[in-house]
Each structure stands twice: as C-alpha cells, then as structure tokens.
Amino acid sequence: MSNSHSIRDADAERTDFETRADTVSLDIDFEEWFWLPQPTQVDVVLYADGSIHFTGGGFQGLDRVIDAIDNDPWFWVDFDLTTAHRGSDSSADMSNQSLEQIQLDDYDELWLFGYSSADEFLSNGEDGEISAVESFMDDGGGVLTTGDHANLGRGLSGAIKRVGEMRKYPAPPTGVEANTTIRDANMDGRHANPEQSDATPQDIRLKEYRLWSSVPSLFQYSQPHAVLCGPDGPIDVFPDHQHEGEINVPNSYPTEQWPSKAGHQPQVEPIAWGEIVDPQAIQTGQDFPIVGVYDGHRADVGRIVADSTWHHWFDINLDGFAANAPDVLDQLEAYFRNVAVWLAPEGAQRRMRNALTWGNFWFDPLVMLDPVNADPFRLGGTARDAFGRFAPQCTITDWLHRVIEPELRVRLDELRTGPPEIGPEPPLPIEELVLGEAVRGLSEQFSDADQAVEFPGHEVLDEAYAAAGEQAVDTLSEYHETVTDRVLELG
C-alpha cells in the first residue's frame, strides 16, 4: 500500500473524518464511508433496586451516565443501554423485574446499582437469580458492582461469586469511622462541610503500569489502567462523598470461584485510591481503594469492575461539575465510557479493535506510507498515534496486549531482563511491534488495491493480529539473541 491508494486527497479525508469524530455524536453515512465496518454493538443492562432511580429520586438518577455512553464519540462501537428496576421506577425501561426475568443472555454487560443490604436478597438455587448471573459471567459477560457505605449494595452483589468479594461488606459506616472524601474549595482541599454536589472533586491516586522506553535508565513512562485513561491524560479526579464504601481484595482465591488458564489465575486488582480528609475522622490522612478490576478474560470468564460508591455515578454528584467545572465532567464521562468498553466480552473486544484498525487503515498517515517495506516498530508507532485519535490510548494498549496468547507470554517473560535500576522485568516494545506487524500484514494482503476496500470481515483481521503477535515475539527473541551474542563477544 502506498500513497497511490489515497481515496481522494488524504489530508482532506482525515480532516473531514476527524471533524465527524470530534462531535458529541458521530453520525456516519456508511454508504459514503463504505470501507468502515458497522460499529460493534455492546448491549448493557443497568439494574437497580430500592430508592435508586434512573431519572429523578433522591439521588436524581443516572441521566448523565446514560447520556455520556449513548453519545460516545467513536465509530467502532455502539452501546445499547437498557434500564431495569427490581421494584417500581417509572423512568426504567423495565420495572418489577428479577435478574432471571430480564434475560441476561440478551446482554453483554450487567451494571448493578444496589441499595439493599439484606441477606438472601436474590433468589438462589439451580434456577435462581444468582445462578443466572454467574452463568452470564462464566459465558463472558461483564459486571459493574457498586454500593456505598456499610452494607449498602450487598443485597444485589454480595452473594454472587467473585462480584461479592470485590467490595468490602461491611464497609466503614457513617460518622467518625467513615471513608470521607469531601473537599471544600475554600479550605485548601480539606474537609469543611458535607457538600457533595459542588464543583470541587477529590483527587485520586492511580496505579501506574510501566511502558517501554528506548532509554529506560533516563526516561520511564507509565499509564493508568484502561478504565482510568482519559482523552487528555489520566483520570485523576472523582466526585467526593461523605461516606464511601471500599474495594476488597480477597485473602485467598479458591479455583472453584476464581478460575485459571494456562497457569495464570487473574486476581482482584485495586487501580485507584481516595484519601480520607475529614480531620475528625479516625482514619484521616489515610487512603483506601475506590476502584478495583478483575480481568476474567485471561481465564475465559467475564471481567468485573467494582466501585466504592454509586455516588461517583449519580447526577447529584455530577451536576456541580456540569455547571462550573466541565473539564472535570469530561474526565468522569470518559471513565463511564471506558468502563463500558473494558467490560465488553472478549469477542466484542476483538471486533472493536478490528473496526478501529480498518477505519484507520485507509486514512492518512497509514495510507501515505509503504508499510510492506517499513520498519515494524516505527510503523507501529505511527499507527499507534493514528489510532489514538479515535480511541483511548490505554484501551489500544489493552487490545494489543491481548493479542499475545498464553504460550507466547511464556516466551515474552523469558526476555524480560534489565539492570537493577529499572527492575527485573522492564517493559518491552510489544505494542508497537504487534501493531506494526498487523498493519504490514494487512498491507501485503491488500497490496493490489488502488482504493479503499470494504471491510473483509473480522476473521481476516483476527488472523492478521494473531500472526502479528507471533511475529512480534519472534522479532524480540531475535533481537535478544543478537544483543546477548554481542555481549558475550565483548566479554
């Protein structure tokens, strides 16, 4: 593929498409943009109980969350949201529905906004609600679990395997024992009065994942988890609240609850922490985990995201940002969308990746290059930059890492050596190599095309990425052998 493959003027195409992509709602004419695949549909059911309503009520609803996801700016995914309530809620699509009745097989994700703290809240037994949810998860369905202080939310989430162990029950209660994160703009960020609806968020601390650096002793790069990676950088602020719940990390992982694959057992991973700031609180100055994840895809089950409180999602906690701190709201909306992307089943992840790939394949800068003869690392870097205009960078990282199958990971781990100052397992440039090899492989396959080609199907893209993963590991192995031989010669 060379610059002769430009559809018309490549710069004009890119500008036109970016203008569309930057709008709140990307409206694509698929007859005009014929090479773009249809966006991957991801079906999400939001399920609530008690006094939680989707519009209105004491918490004022989840309208801002729903709007943010409904109006995602991406061409590679289309979220279809359904709201269901265990009791009566006139704003829900379905009311008075158990988790059996809503037919979880029709959805890819289940988001639980539980209020009840009652034991034995869900029906049990072979055909009960708990069985229905666990079967949904074992088939790859993703789950978001929320709640609040003490045992709020345990009724919906507490009895479900894996999900029930990712939030602390009971979490700290109200009063001096509370996980208080309220900030006040007039008090240097410290606690002043319990106002959770203002425009002052809490700062959060993020887990950082190291990235490859060409000069690791001088420059070390990192990024947050994919659900906390925003369009303008890390998502490092959250709504504050007087008494949050808390993420739990299990003490043990019995295999009947927490499956393994190829010798790897995914575990619960805290990825963000809040700080208790009330000077009257017993634990003032201490932090606690507020977001946790479980990557079940590595064991062929569904992923889970746990949040310490639904107050990070409710309109009552978001309205102040909408009025007076829109940049903060932008970060939070990115968090909501990232959760929706990350929780999608494994197959949907591949389809989203493929749609993003093919959409960029016929645009500048890739359409202006000669990928067949390009260095795969440099080609991957260029493609990575191009992809990042239309998808979160950390999501792209997640997709590229998933290309490396377990048997290839064993080989990759053998290559992780480095000097003490950068640790025993320095990152490798695997993302750039995988992407570069994938683009080069597709370019070879479609080298005779002199204009954009309609989407060839997900199987073609899946095969290209699988081959790219193997080639990327081979390339790193060859490089490692060359460096080792040179060191031995010098020694």
pLDDT tens-digit readout, 47-95: 999 999 999 999 999 999 999 999 999 999 999 999 999 999 999 999 9
Q: Average pLDDT, stretch 255-271?
A: 96
pLDDT digits (tens, 9 = 90+) for 49-58: 999 999 999 9
* Bond from prior residue into 365 cis (ω within 30 degrees of 0): yes
pLDDT of residue 369: 81
- Residue 113 CA to residue 152 CA, distance in Å, equals 10
What span, in angstroms and rounded, lies between the C-alpha atoms of 276 and 262? 40
| Cβ neighbours around 317 below 10 Å, total | 24
34 vs 425: which has the higher pLDDT: 34
Q: Is residue 190 pLDDT above 60, yes or no?
A: no
Query: Encoding tokens for residue 137?
Result: 């998860």
Q: What is the band of 154 on the pLDDT scale with cuts at 50, 70, 90?
A: very high
| pLDDT score for 2 | 36
Query: What is this structure's pTM?
Result: 0.89
Q: How confident is the model at residue 187 (pLDDT cuts 50, 70, 90)?
A: very low
Using the predicted structure, report yes or no on whether residue 25 has a pLDDT greater than 80: no
Using the predicted structure, report yes or no on whether residue 179 has a pLDDT greater than 90. yes
In tens, the pLDDT along 363-390 reads 888 888 887 788 888 899 999 999 999 9
Distance of CA 406 to the CA centre of its chain: 21
Sign of CA dihedral 184, 186, 192, 197: negative
* Per-residue confidence (pLDDT) for residue 468, from 0 to 100: 96
**Residue 161: its pLDDT value, please?**
98
- Do the Cβ atoms of 476 and 430 come closer than 8 Å? yes
For residues 311 and 40, the answer to whether their CB atoms sit within 8 Å is: no
Classify residue 124 by burial, with Cβ atoms within 10 Å: 0-12, 13-18, 19+: exposed
- 235, 334 Cβ separation under 8 angstroms: yes
Lowest-pLDDT range, 104-113, 162-171, 413-422? 413-422
Measured CA to CA, the distance from residue 28 to residue 120 in angstroms comes to: 47
421 vs 231: CA distance, rounded Å = 31
Q: Is the pLDDT of residue 219 over 80?
A: no
Per DSSP, the three-state class of 356 is: helix
Q: How many residues does the chain have?
A: 491
* DSSP string across 155-202: HHHTTSTTGGGSB-SSPP-SGGGSB-----TTTTTS--S---SSS-PE
User: What is the amino acid identity at position 311?
Assistant: H
Q: pLDDT band for 277, please (50, 70, 90 cuts).
A: confident
Q: CA 335, 336, 338, 344: dihedral to nearest 10 degrees?
A: 150
Which pLDDT belongs to residue 94?
Answer: 98
Q: Where in the chain is the domain with CATH 3.40.50?
A: 40-344
Average pLDDT value for the chain? 86
- Residue pair 84/47 in contact by the 8 Å Cβ criterion: yes
More confident call, 124 vs 315: 315
* Cβ neighbour number for residue 346 with a 10 Å cutoff: 17
In this prediction, residue 199 carries a pLDDT of 85
Q: In angstroms, rounded to a whole number, what is the distance separating the alpha carbons of residues 407 and 27?
A: 41
Angstrom distance (rounded) from CA 165 to CA 250: 6
Indicate the SS3 state at residue 79: strand
pLDDT of residue 193: 45
Residue 107 to residue 80: CA distance in whole angstroms = 9
- The residue assigned the tokens 């031995």 is 488
For the segment 321-346, the average pLDDT, to the nearest whole number, is 97
The hierarchical CATH code for the domain 40-344 is: 3.40.50
Instruction: Report which of 459, 231, 442, 440 is spatially closest to residue 351, judged by C-alpha positions.
Output: 459
Contact 398/226 with Cβ under 8 angstroms? yes
- Give SS3 for 144: strand
